């Protein structure tokens, strides 16, 4: 009985570990901002991730077709801008709030725009309510930096592009798309990160191991864990676990960075998470009804 329970639950634990690593890496990355700045950290994260993923997928063994070029380039641009924008956002606002705004303006927006179900308008209203509670528009003296909110929104829009072009690139080229996309992102992010930093600081032996850890925790290890768990778990469960990112990110930032949120901010994050879960569950119900027909 215990063995059967473990067999059923280990993919869920694996994905929870993946989410924890990704969100924990955001806190680790933020701790490097006083030294490298957001652009320097993004530069090393993408560069190290590109090297690691290229070693895993060996994309040079597969020819890039003409049809795959544009989706791969757009995918890479989305990854680069998304990473830089997100790091600039969490430099100014708490990690959990940045992730929540990203989730609302990225994956949730894609799901809502591609849906025509009446019930989704309820989830949209919940998203709007959550964003209203997070944004300082009703709090003239709120401590949340509006520039940080703008960066988080840009990051979310790029996340939406990442989903759209990543799907196209993956369909045409295959799993190696992630390695090529991150490599393309590193081609313009790394020079910019180098430009905004002192070269001695950028290549400091005391900084490189931390930057490598950010890349491993943020990209290489979570991707590997997801590849192990995905064949043994439903898309619904996977999406629901990914929706917990703002909560995990907030807890991680509280533990490692001592970032605390107000009750209103926690309620706003939970509203956005609930809307994401609602969209996933309702879409799965519709899919099941279609399959039964």
User: Tell me: the pLDDT tens digits for 128-181?
Assistant: 888 888 876 555 555 678 899 999 999 999 988 988 888 888 888 887 888 899
Greatest pairwise CA separation for the chain in angstroms: 64
Q: From CA 70, how far away is CA 41, in angstroms rounded?
A: 27
Q: From CA 263, how far away is CA 222, in angstroms rounded?
A: 30
pLDDT of residue 160: 87
pLDDT of 241 above 50:
yes
Higher pLDDT, 33 or 262: 33
Average pLDDT over residues 113-138: 75
Higher pLDDT, 11 or 55: 55
Domain ranges of the chain: 16-292
* Band (284; pLDDT cuts 50, 70, 90): low
Average pLDDT over residues 226-237: 65
Query: How far, rounded to the nearest angstrom, does the alpha carbon of residue 78 sit from its chain's CA centroid?
Result: 12
pLDDT of residue 286: 45
> What residues contact residue 270 under an 8 Å CB cut-off, 6+ apart?
130, 247
3-state class of 62 per DSSP?
Answer: coil
Q: Where are the alpha helices (DSSP H) in 135-207?
A: 146-173, 177-195, 199-202
Give 103-137 as a DSSP string.
HHHTHHHHHHHT---THHHHHHHHHHHHHHHHSGG
Residue pair 11/233 in contact (Cβ under 8 Å)? The answer is: yes
> In terms of residues, how long is the chain?
293
| Nearest CA-CA partner of 180 in 80, 38, 85 | 80
* Band (124; pLDDT cuts 50, 70, 90): confident
The string of pLDDT tens digits covering residues 7-21 is 556 777 887 888 888
């Amino acid at each position: 009985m215990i063995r059967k329970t473990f067999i059923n639950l280990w993919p869920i634990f694996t994905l929870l570990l993946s989410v924890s690593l990704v969100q924990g890496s955001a806190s680790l990355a933020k701790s490097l901002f006083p030294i490298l700045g957001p652009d320097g950290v993004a530069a090393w994260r993408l560069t190290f991730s590109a090297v690691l993923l290229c070693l895993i997928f060996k994309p040079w063994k597969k020819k890039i077709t003409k049809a795959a070029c544009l989706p791969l380039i757009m995918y890479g641009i989305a990854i680069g801008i998304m990473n830089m924008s997100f790091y600039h956002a969490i430099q100014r606002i708490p990690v959990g709030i940045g992730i929540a705004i990203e989730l609302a303006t990225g994956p949730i927006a894609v799901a809502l725009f591609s849906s025509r179900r009446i019930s989704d308008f309820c989830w949209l209203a919940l998203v709007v309510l959550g964003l209203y509670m997070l944004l300082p528009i009703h709090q003239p003296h709120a401590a949340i930096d509006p520039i940080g909110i703008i960066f988080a929104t840009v990051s979310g829009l790029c996340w939406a592009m990442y989903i759209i072009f990543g799907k196209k690139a993956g369909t045409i080229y295959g799993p190696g798309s992630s390695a090529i996309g991150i490599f393309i992102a590193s081609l313009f992010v790394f020079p910019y990160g180098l430009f905004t930093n002192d070269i001695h600081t950028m290549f400091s032996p005391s900084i490189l191991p931390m930057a490598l850890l950010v890349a491993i925790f943020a990209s290489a290890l979570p991707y590997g864990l997801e590849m192990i768990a995905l064949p043994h778990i439903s898309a619904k469960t996977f999406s629901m676990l990914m929706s917990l990112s703002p909560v995990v990110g907030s807890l991680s930032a509280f533990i490692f960075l001592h970032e605390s949120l107000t009750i209103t901010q926690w309620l706003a994050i939970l509203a956005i998470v609930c809307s994401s879960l609602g969209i996933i569950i309702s879409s799965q119900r519709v899919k099941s009804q279609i399959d039964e027909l």
